[in-house]
Amino acid sequence: MSEDFAEDFDWSLPLRGHASLQESAVLESLARRARPGERPEELLFDLGLLDEHDFAMEIASRADKRYAGLRDFVPDPRLFVYLPVPLAMRERVCPLVLIGDSLKLASAFLDPDLSYLERRFPNLSVELGIAPRSEILEALNRVTELL
């Protein structure tokens, strides 16, 4: 009877469960050490333990999102009517271009809080691409110098 159980048992399930539990514990531990308003990943970036460009390329690839390199990119200041600079800084998001009713954004993460856009501009569609956090922050700093 125990041999039948062993043959039918999916050995990958407990392993996946333990891995996600450990990943959650690591992220929660990092979150407690991160600065207010920062994500746990950002602490790893700042400590040099996680490369921002590699991270951006990896999540873009896994999530089937476009990768956007923003070196020397200067955002159009008019786009910040849709997404105010303080909100863009907090969410690590940079507006790239507005085409019709579609705003294309570069984000350092897959899940920025864009509820402001949804509330303020309900008919605006948003297309999210991925870029390294440092390049987004540099682009946002360039636009703040223009404002």
3-state secondary structure of 127: strand
The answer, yes or no, to whether residue 81 has pLDDT greater than 60, is yes
C-beta of residue 70 within 8 angstroms of C-beta of residue 113: no
Q: Could you give the CA distance from residue 50 to residue 52 in angstroms, rounded to a whole number?
A: 6
3-state secondary structure of 2: helix
The answer, yes or no, to whether residue 6 has pLDDT greater than 60, is no
Query: What average pLDDT does range 81-99 have in this prediction?
Result: 96
The tens digit of pLDDT for each residue in 98-143 reads 999 999 999 999 999 999 999 999 999 999 999 999 999 999 999 9
Q: Could you give the CA distance from residue 30 to residue 88 in angstroms, rounded to a whole number?
A: 23
